[in-house]
Amino acid sequence: MYELKFDGSLCQTCPTADCLVKCQYMDLEKDEAKKQMVNIWEGKDSFVFEGCVTCYACEEYCRRGNHPFYLITEKREEKGLLTAPRAITKQWINIGEPQGKFKVGKPGERVLSFGFMPEFFKMAKGRLFQKAMPSFIFGQEFFCNVVYIHFANTSIIKKRLPMIMENFRKLGVKEVVCLHDECYGSFAHLAPAYGIEVPFKPIHYFEFLYERLKELRNDIKPLNFKVAYQRPCSSRLSPDKHRLVRDIMDLIGVRLVEREYQDENALCCGGIYAMCFGYDLANDVQRRNMDDMAKHGAEYCVFNCPACQGTLGEKVAKMGIKPIHMIELCRMAIGEA
């Protein structure tokens, strides 16, 4: 019922083929990149199926509003080319199964969505959230399911995401502040790509934090330390919000170190790589990423995604770099953390 909105002619006429030319895991020239994307669109075999590590980056690199990563994922599933062992894929699908154990605060026109991340119950407090916190949602019934594109399983997303939208509709909410980056990417980017109606306005929590910090400007005490920002894979689905990283850090007096692996050139935390592609790839990506942070004098590593922090937090700490989530960093700037 829900079909990917993909225009293969845009690949055929693309002047740059940036989606694959810029890929950090495959080395392709423009003509070969265009050829491979057309092959994938036409349902043919391609070495891209073996080379893609599901980092989402080609969704950002494509300047034509097409969806190269979603297409690669769709065709992978059609061909039975799973990225992880079936047992692991099944386990993850079972984890996200709606079970009727969700939690809902006092839903108003705007709600905070914790997705399926209990860590946010510890973070979403204090003056930043005092007005918003009474209205929250949490649980599998509101779980965005975007993680399954890592597992080449868009069919489960197309099955569950419309159900999630209906759960939101029943609450009558008009705005959803997504505390998990993946949720925002799913609602603002993935759902529209498949023609799935979103009955509310998704708001990235960076927007929420930035506005609240401006309201609390007089309480901010510049932190005056150097940080590296760990950009999550899902941020590739909302590149227009990435600019807010610098805006927030400028506002709270934090210096974002200029390093090799940031912005468009960011490297993932590697957590999903260990499950899907083996520890050699995961360890290599993590080592390059963390060495880059240390080389440029980062005192803190700022995380957007709790899963990324769970993967890299202890490792960066052993290097003498303090791990901290963006929300906690902002609370620290107003004297709360």
DSSP string covering 21-85: HT-SS----HHHHHHHHHHHHTT---THHHH-----HHHHH-TTS--HHHHHHHHHHHTT--SS-
Is there a domain that residue 2 lies in? no
CA distance 39 to 12: 10
- Residues 6 or more apart whose Cβ sits within 8 Å of residue 198: 165, 187, 188, 191, 192
- Residues 6 or more apart whose Cβ sits within 8 Å of residue 47: 36
Beta pairing, strands 300-303 & 226-230: parallel
Quick one: which of 242, 244, 249, 245 has its CA closest to 333?
249
Q: Which domain holds residue 284?
A: 216-333
Quick one: which of 140, 151, 147, 30 has its CA closest to 90?
151
* Domain final residue, candidates 78, 103, 119: 78
pLDDT of residue 131: 82
C-alpha to C-alpha distances, 138 to 116, 152, 166, nearest whole angstrom: 6, 25, 15
pLDDT of residue 53: 96
CA distance 126 to 112: 14
Domain count, the chain: 3
Phi then psi for residue 165, to 5 deg, are -60, -40
Residue 184 corresponds to which amino acid? Answer: Y
Structural contact between residues 268 and 285, judged by C-beta atoms closer than 8 angstroms: yes
Burial 129-162 (b: 16+ CB within 10 A, else e): beebeebbbbbbbbbbbbbbbbbbbbebbbebbb
CATH number for 309: 3.40.50.1860
Structural contact between residues 138 and 115, judged by C-beta atoms closer than 8 angstroms: yes
Structural contact between residues 117 and 180, judged by C-beta atoms closer than 8 angstroms: yes
Is there a domain that residue 113 lies in? yes
- In tens digits, what is the pLDDT along the chain, a chain of 337 residues? 799 999 999 999 999 999 999 999 999 999 999 999 999 999 999 999 999 999 999 999 998 989 999 999 999 999 999 899 999 999 999 999 988 888 888 878 899 999 999 999 999 999 999 887 789 999 999 999 999 999 999 999 999 999 999 999 999 999 999 999 999 999 999 999 999 999 999 999 999 999 999 999 999 999 999 999 999 999 999 999 999 999 999 999 999 999 999 999 999 999 988 888 888 999 999 999 999 999 999 999 999 999 999 999 999 999 999 999 999 999 999 999 7
- Strand order in 322-325's β-sheet? 255-256, 226-230, 300-303, 322-325
Q: CA angle at residue 266 from 51 to 124, to 5 degrees? A: 120
pLDDT of residue 68: 97
Is there a domain that residue 64 lies in? yes
DSSP string covering 222-272: ----EEEEE--GGGGG-GGGTHHHHHHHHHTT-EE---SSSGGG-----HH
Structural contact between residues 255 and 292, judged by C-beta atoms closer than 8 angstroms: no
- Residues 6 or more apart whose Cβ sits within 8 Å of residue 7: 66
Name residue 176's beta-bridge partners: 111, 202
Query: Which pTM does this prediction carry?
Result: 0.95
Residues 120, 90: one domain? yes
Is there a domain that residue 1 lies in? no
* Domain final residue, candidates 187, 208, 229: 208
Residues 62, 165: one domain? no
Across the chain, which distance is largest between two alpha carbons, in Å? 59
Residues 221, 202: one domain? no
Residues 258, 312: one domain? yes
Residue 111, SS3 per DSSP:
strand
Residues 29, 117: one domain? no
* Domain final residue, candidates 191, 208, 225: 208
Structural contact between residues 303 and 281, judged by C-beta atoms closer than 8 angstroms: no
